[in-house]
């Protein structure tokens, strides 16, 4: 494959730059953050300034989002996947039973989730398959849009016209992580399948926004490659999209490799201290972009960072197919068998009520419905 990143995306020059304590202090206080600000805040020199970064990030979070934490929940529609991602429990060479919800099952799961109180749902599948293709996904979105204010997807990359057909069915957003922006690492981690095409994936958020999606969710899977390289490239990707699609919205997530069925070990592990540094740096540099954290992270870490850098969180998540309805994924699946396996382990397994009570105790307000104006400035 072509291992050359385009100039607009390649952050390599920043990695050879040494930042001083004074550089970091200037970056924390600036009212005009840019790429140099982010590079300083991600540098080793910033490790000594996490408290100052947290204070600045909290002030910016409250300025742009108030004291709210927007909540959403994922629903895995299918675990069928022909992909060969080395880090994923749904990869084709994992010996796991596969499941996909039929439409009756989807409706049951949606009703159960709606009863819990959620207004935003994220629908997930693996790679495009005969069990979970575009038509299947469009119908699932149509069903979800009857119940939920926001229906986002985290599925396979598509063509612009395919995204447009999903937007017309009621889909509001697309989450698509690049996993790593380092082309050589990307090539090793994605052993086969359509996902091996780095640039097809890279361009997909732009195609989604061109197809009428209101927001695109970006991220990289922390642990695959040098996290500072990946985070600087992620910032460049986000800024590139903001310039081209200024009327649309972005969200940024910080997924970190967790244990999964295949026992994958992260080659560049990211500990909680570095994860916090990354989140705080992004809040300072992209102050009005919603930053998301999933239940991959521990309850203690999530409680600590909520409202300081993070403004959007999932909770009560199941990472198996279905699992919210009363019959569970085996009975709802097209193919029954042993208990469905998860794509990754959930660390924060608290229920919705317990989590909301914890947010209230921190003087934060859980919010289930977000408003159209957040994502689109013009009609
Ligand atoms: S990350 Fe996605 S495409 Fe890759 S194996 Fe897992 S489900 Fe399939």
More confident residue, 379 or 192: 192
**Residue 35 Cα, ligand 1 centroid: separation in angstroms?**
31
Q: What integer pLDDT is reported at residue 304 of this predicted model? A: 97
**Residue 83 Cα, ligand 1 centroid: separation in angstroms?**
5
**Residue 80 Cα, ligand 1 centroid: separation in angstroms?**
9
Convert the pLDDT of each residue in 111-157 to its tens digit.
999 999 999 999 999 999 999 999 999 999 999 999 999 999 999 99
| Beta-bridge mates of residue 79 | none
**Residue 129 Cα, ligand 1 centroid: separation in angstroms?**
12
Helix axis angle for 103-116 and 134-145, nearest 10°, is 40
pLDDT at 344 over 90: no
- How long, in residues, is the chain? 379
Buried b (16+ CB within 10 A) or exposed e, 124-133: bbbbbbebbe
Asked if residue 24 is part of any domain, the answer here is no
Q: What integer pLDDT is reported at residue 337 of this predicted model? A: 33
Domain, as residue range, for 182:
54-371
Rounded to the nearest 5 degrees, what angle is found at the Cα of 54, between the Cα atoms of 46 and 359? Answer: 150
Q: What is the mean pLDDT of the chain?
A: 91
Convert the pLDDT of each residue in 70-113 to its tens digit.
999 999 999 999 999 999 888 998 867 899 999 999 999 999 99
Nearest-atom index, ligand 1, CA of 127:
3
Q: How confident is the model at residue 345 (pLDDT cuts 50, 70, 90)?
A: confident
Asked if residue 191 is part of any domain, the answer here is yes
Q: What is the mean pLDDT of residues 243-268?
A: 87
Q: What integer pLDDT is reported at residue 251 of this predicted model? A: 98
Asked if residue 172 is part of any domain, the answer here is yes
Asked if residue 66 is part of any domain, the answer here is yes
Its sign, for the CA torsion 240, 293, 212, 4, is: positive
Which residue of 82, 90, 178 sits with most ligand 1 atoms within 8 Å of its CB, as the best mutation to test the pocket?
90
pLDDT at 340 over 60: no
Q: Are 255 and 278 in contact (CB under 8 A)?
A: no
Domain with 129 in it: what CATH number?
3.20.20.70
Q: What integer pLDDT is reported at residue 97 of this predicted model? A: 83
Written as six digits, the tokens of 237 are 């990707």
Q: Nearest C-alpha to atom 7 of ligand 1 is from which residue?
A: 126
Asked if residue 32 is part of any domain, the answer here is no
Asked if residue 18 is part of any domain, the answer here is no
**Residue 3 Cα, ligand 1 centroid: separation in angstroms?**
22
Q: What integer pLDDT is reported at residue 325 of this predicted model? A: 86
Which residue of 83, 87, 155 sits with most ligand 1 atoms within 8 Å of its CB, as the best mutation to test the pocket?
83
Convert the pLDDT of each residue in 194-252 to its tens digit.
999 999 999 999 999 999 999 999 999 999 999 999 999 999 999 999 999 999 999 99
pLDDT at 20 over 80: yes
Q: What integer pLDDT is reported at residue 319 of this predicted model? A: 86
**Residue 57 Cα, ligand 1 centroid: separation in angstroms?**
33
**What CA–CA distances, in Å, run from 141 to 5, 52, 122, 129, 274?**
34, 43, 10, 17, 36
Q: What is the mean pLDDT of residues 52-61?
A: 98
Convert the pLDDT of each residue in 286-327 to its tens digit.
999 999 999 999 999 999 999 999 999 999 999 889 989 864
Q: What integer pLDDT is reported at residue 338 of this predicted model? A: 34
Q: What integer pLDDT is reported at residue 370 of this predicted model? A: 64
Those residues with Cβ within 8 angstroms of residue 90's Cβ, 6 or more apart along the chain or in another chain = 79, 81, 83, 96, 126, 343
Percent of the chain with pLDDT over 90: 83
Residues with CB under 6 A from ligand 1: 81, 83, 85, 88, 90-91, 126-127, 195
**Residue 199 Cα, ligand 1 centroid: separation in angstroms?**
17
Residue (of 179, 256, 285, 226) closest to 15 by Cα position: 226
Asked if residue 187 is part of any domain, the answer here is yes
> In this predicted structure, which of 13-27, 29-43, 141-155, 341-355 has the lowest mean pLDDT?
341-355
More confident residue, 378 or 166: 166
Total structural domains within the chain? 1
Nearest-atom index, ligand 1, CA of 195:
3
pLDDT at 9 over 70: yes
Q: What integer pLDDT is reported at residue 96 of this predicted model? A: 72
Asked if residue 178 is part of any domain, the answer here is yes
Number of H helices, E strands in the chain: 15, 9
Which residue of 76, 79, 80, 81 sits with most ligand 1 atoms within 8 Å of its CB, as the best mutation to test the pocket?
81
pLDDT at 336 over 50: no
Q: What is the mean pLDDT of residues 252-261?
A: 81
Those residues with Cβ within 8 angstroms of residue 86's Cβ, 6 or more apart along the chain or in another chain = 188, 189, 190, 191, 262, 264
């Amino acid at each position: 494959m072509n291992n050359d990143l385009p100039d607009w995306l390649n952050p390599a020059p920043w990695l050879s730059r040494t930042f001083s304590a004074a550089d970091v202090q200037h970056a924390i206080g600036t009212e005009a953050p840019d790429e140099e600000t982010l590079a300083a805040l991600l540098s080793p020199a910033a490790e000594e300034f996490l408290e100052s970064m947290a204070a600045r990030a909290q002030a910016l979070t409250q300025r742009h989002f108030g004291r709210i934490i927007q909540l959403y929940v994922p629903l895995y529609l299918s675990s069928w996947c022909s992909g060969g991602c080395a880090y994923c429990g749904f990869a084709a060479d994992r010996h796991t039973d596969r499941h996909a919800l039929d439409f009756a099952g989807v409706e049951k799961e949606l009703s159960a989730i709606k009863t819990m109180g959620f207004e935003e749902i994220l629908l997930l599948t693996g790679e495009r398959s005969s069990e979970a293709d575009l038509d299947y996904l469009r119908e699932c979105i149509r069903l979800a849009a009857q119940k939920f204010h926001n229906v986002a997807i985290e599925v396979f990359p598509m063509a612009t016209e395919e995204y447009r057909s999903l937007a017309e069915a009621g889909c509001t957003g697309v989450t698509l992580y690049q996993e790593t922006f380092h082309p050589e690492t990307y090539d090793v981690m994605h052993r086969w399948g359509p996902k091996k095409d780095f640039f097809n994936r890279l361009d997909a958020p732009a195609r989604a926004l061109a197809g009428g999606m209101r927001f695109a969710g970006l991220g990289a899977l922390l642990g695959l490659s040098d996290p500072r390289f990946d985070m600087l490239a992620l910032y460049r990707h986000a800024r590139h999209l903001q310039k081209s699609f200024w009327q649309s919205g972005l969200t940024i997530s910080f997924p970190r490799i967790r244990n999964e069925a295949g026992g994958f070990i992260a080659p560049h592990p990211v500990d909680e201290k570095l994860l916090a540094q990354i989140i705080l740096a992004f809040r300072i540099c992209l102050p009005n972009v919603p930053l998301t954290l999933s239940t991959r992270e521990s309850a203690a870490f999530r409680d600590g960072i909520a409202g300081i850098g993070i403004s959007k969180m999932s909770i009560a998540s199941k990472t198996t197919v279905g699992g919210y309805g009363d019959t569970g994924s085996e009975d709802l699946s097209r193919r029954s068998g042993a208990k469905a396996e998860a794509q990754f382990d959930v660390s924060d397994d608290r229920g919705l009520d317990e989590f909301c009570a914890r947010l209230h105790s921190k003087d934060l307000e859980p919010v289930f419905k977000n408003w159209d104006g957040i994502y689109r400035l013009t009609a």
